[in-house]
């Protein structure tokens, strides 16, 4: 009877351990942004900048580890709502300040992000971004646009289009590419840019966002 050399046995043993560990590893792509923030910083919350039945602008934050009153804003999210009638109860909760992903998951809905578009804006000259990035040297904001679908049993709805602007101390464009298995950046996506302009051309939202940032500097 042929026997494998000891080195081969060790190789297959460690390969088995590696495969077993990989099977238990959670894919980062399955994490909600709220879950990723809480995992990284230990807490999570939402500050609403502006909200109505068609759209919402909000900051996703964690509490400062050295000052629990202070908030660190990690993501500025611009949301355009689409199919909401069939999920009106959850939609109402979201309009009242609930986290989108968390609100659906608590009610047994699955979240699916599709049509990912990513790009970077460097050294933005708007007052909002200057204040947001004032404490770090990196002035590259990673932008992530996607369509969010929710599914439960035989029901599937296109709930929203979302643009997330991530603070460089939280996520970079390289992180986004890794999470969503993409090597490309969007150069000129009209939908992504229109979502960005929705906040930049909205003075009341800009003023409120700037107020929140300055309040937590």
Instruction: State the pTM of this model.
Output: 0.83
Whether the predicted pLDDT of 127 surpasses 70: yes
- Cross-strand bridge partners of residue 146: 162
**Is position 18 within any domain?**
no
How does pLDDT run across 30-81, given as a tens digit for each residue? Answer: 689 999 999 999 999 999 999 999 999 999 999 988 887 899 999 999 999 9
Task: List the domain range (segments joined by +) for residue 128.
Answer: 32-215
**Is position 6 within any domain?**
no
Query: Which helix (H) or strand (E) covers residue 196, if one does?
Result: helix 190-200
Query: What does the angle CA 39 – CA 149 – CA 175 come to, to the nearest 5 degrees?
Result: 40
Whether the predicted pLDDT of 108 surpasses 50: yes
Q: What is the mean pLDDT of residues 138-167?
A: 94
Q: How far apart are CA 207 and CA 57, in angstroms?
A: 12
**Is position 167 within any domain?**
yes
For residue 3, name the pLDDT band (cuts at 50, 70, 90). low
**Is position 11 within any domain?**
no
- Total number of domains in the chain: 1
The token pair at 157 is 């709805």
**Is position 14 within any domain?**
no
Whether the predicted pLDDT of 113 surpasses 70: yes
- Whole-number pLDDT of residue 54: 95
Max Cα distance, the chain (Å) = 80
**Is position 62 within any domain?**
yes
Does residue 148 contact residue 113 with C-beta atoms inside 8 Å? yes
Which among 81, 70, 78 has a CA at the least distance from the CA of 128?
78
- Looking up residue 37, the CATH number of its domain turns out to be 3.40.1410.10
> In this structure, which long-range contacts are made by residues 119-127, counting pairs with CB atoms below 8 Å and at least 24 apart in sequence?
119/143, 119/173, 119/185, 119/186, 119/187, 119/189, 119/192, 120/173, 120/185, 121/196, 126/200, 126/206, 127/206, 127/210
Distances (CA, A) of 206 to 134, 187, 199, 213: 17, 25, 7, 11
Q: What is the mean pLDDT of residues 6-22?
A: 36
For residue 193, name the pLDDT band (cuts at 50, 70, 90). confident
């Amino acid at each position: 009877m042929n026997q494998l050399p000891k080195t081969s046995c060790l190789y297959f043993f460690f390969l088995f351990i590696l495969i077993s560990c990989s099977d238990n590893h959670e894919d980062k792509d399955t994490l909600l942004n709220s879950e990723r923030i809480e995992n990284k910083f230990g807490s999570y919350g939402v500050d609403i900048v502006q909200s109505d039945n068609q759209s919402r602008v909000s900051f996703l934050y964690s509490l400062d580890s050295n000052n629990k009153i202070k908030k660190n804003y990690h993501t500025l999210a611009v949301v355009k709502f689409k199919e909401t009638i069939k999920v009106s109860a959850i939609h109402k909760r979201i309009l009242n300040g609930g986290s989108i992903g968390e609100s659906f998951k608590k009610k047994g809905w699955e979240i699916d992000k599709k049509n990912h578009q990513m790009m970077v804006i460097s050294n933005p000259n708007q007052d909002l971004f200057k204040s947001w990035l004032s404490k770090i040297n990196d002035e590259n904001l990673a932008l992530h646009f996607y369509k969010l679908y929710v599914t439960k049993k035989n029901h599937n709805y296109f709930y929203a289009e979302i643009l997330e602007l991530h603070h460089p101390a939280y996520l970079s464009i390289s992180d986004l590419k890794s999470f969503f298995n993409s090597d490309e950046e969007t150069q000129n996506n009209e939908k992504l840019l229109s979502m960005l302009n929705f906040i930049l051309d909205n003075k009341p939202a800009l003023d409120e966002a700037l107020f929140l940032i300055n309040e937590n500097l």
